[in-house]
Amino acid sequence: MNLKGRNFLTLKDFTPEEISYLLDLAAQLKEDKKKGITGDSLKGKNIALIFEKPSTRTRCAFTIGCIDEGGHPEYLGKDDIQLGYKESVEDTARVLGRMFDGIEFRGFLHENVEKLAKYSGVPVWNGLTDDYHPTQILADFLTLREQFGELKGLNFVFAGDGRNNMGNSLMIGCAKMGINFTCLAPKSLWPKEELIEQCRTYAKESGAKLTFTEDTDAVKGADCIYTDVWCSMGEEDKAAERVALLKPFQVNDELMKKTEKDTTVVMHCLPAVKGNEVTEDVFEKHAEVIFDEAENRMHTIKAVMVATLGEK
C-alpha cells in the first residue's frame, strides 16, 4: 500500500484498510526493534518537531522513531520559532517545508496543523491538537490487537470527558474499524453531534455500534475500558467543576465489577491523575497493558513516518 507523501492529521482521512496497514507495519517494526534491527528508510531526511505543548511520549516517540530509521529530528519548542506570533503559520510552513522533509506538530488549534499541511509541501503529522490525537489511537489499536488478536467486534468503553481530543479520535477510529464504541460521560460532555453523525456513517460500513450514555451499567461485557484526564491541557481553570461532574464515571473496582468479565483491560493515554479518572489500584493492576500502550506510541509513530516519508 502506498501512503507516500500523505499527511496524518486525523483518522477521518484514512480507510480501514490503510489503518490496518499502518498497524501491520508498526507490529513489524516493533518485532524488528526487539531483535535489534533498525532501518534506514529516513536516511538523509530532516524532521521538524514543533511543540507548543509539552510532551513525554509524543516527543520521545518521534525522536527515537526518526533516529532508528536514520533520520535527523530537530525539536522546535514554542520559544524557538515564531509560529503564529511574529510570523504567520502559513509563512512558517513555507520556510520549514523548504528545509525539512517532514513536520510534526503538537499544539492547540487544529487549523494550525492543517495550515502546515497545506503550505509546507511536505508530509505533516499531528502529534496532538485540541480536536484530535490520531497517533495515540494507532498505539491503542496496536495494543488491543496484541491483547485480543483482532479489533473487529470488540466492545470498547470510553469513560470520562467524551468531547476531548481522545474521545473524538477513539470514536472515529472505533467506528472505522468495526469496534463497538460506548461513550460513558455526562451528556454535557458528549462529542459534537456533527462528529457523531459522521462516525455513524463510518459505523454503518464497518458494522460497529455507537452508544452514548450516562448509565455506568453500560460497561457490561466491555473488553476495554479507556479513560483520560478529566482536564485537558489549557483547561486547568475548570478542574474543580470537572471533578464534580465526572466523579461518577471514575474507573474503579465497582465499575470493573459491572463488566461481569475478568478479561477486561483498562487503558489510559497518560499522564494519569490517579484518584481522579482512575483509582491507583485499578491503574496498577492494568499497568502492564497501559505501559505497552505507551511503548506502542513509538512503534506506530515510526510506522507513520516510514509509510508517508520513508524510501522503502
CA Rg value for the chain? 19
Same domain, 193 and 46: no
Cis preceding linkage at 271, omega within 30: yes
Question: Which residues line the annotated binding site for carbamoyl phosphate?
Answer: 55-58, 82, 106, 133-136, 269-270, 297
Q: Give residue-wise pLDDT tens across range 195-253.
A: 999 999 999 999 999 999 999 999 999 999 999 999 876 777 878 888 999 999 999 99
265 alpha-carbon distance from chain centroid: 18
Residue 66, pLDDT above cutoff 80? yes
Q: Which domain holds residue 25?
A: 11-133+297-309
Same domain, 260 and 234: yes
Query: Count of CB atoms within 10 A of residue 208's CB?
Result: 24
Average pLDDT taken over every residue of the chain: 96
Question: Which residues line the annotated binding site for L-ornithine?
Answer: 165, 228, 232-233
For residue 2, is it within any domain? no
Catalytic residue among 6, 268, 297, 299: 297
For residue 4, is it within any domain? no
The model's pTM is 0.97
Domain count, the chain: 2
The answer to whether residue 68 is catalytic is: no
The answer to whether residue 106 is catalytic is: yes
Catalytic residue among 131, 136, 268, 299: 136
Q: What is the CATH number of the domain that holds 252?
A: 3.40.50.1370
What per-residue confidence (pLDDT) applies to 237? Answer: 80
Catalytic residue among 223, 228, 250, 268: 228
Widest CA span in the chain: 56
The answer to whether residue 242 is catalytic is: no
The answer to whether residue 133 is catalytic is: yes
Percent of the chain with pLDDT over 70: 99
Give the H or E element holding residue 177.
helix 165-177
Q: Give residue-wise pLDDT tens across range 75-129.
A: 999 889 878 788 999 999 999 999 999 999 999 999 999 999 999 999 999 999 9
Question: Which residues line the annotated binding site?
Answer: 55-58, 82, 106, 133-136, 165, 228, 232-233, 269-270, 297
Q: Counting Cβ atoms within 10 Å, is residue 288 exposed (0-12), middle (13-18) or buried (19+)?
A: exposed
Same domain, 180 and 277: yes
The answer to whether residue 136 is catalytic is: yes
For residue 54, is it within any domain? yes
Same domain, 121 and 147: no
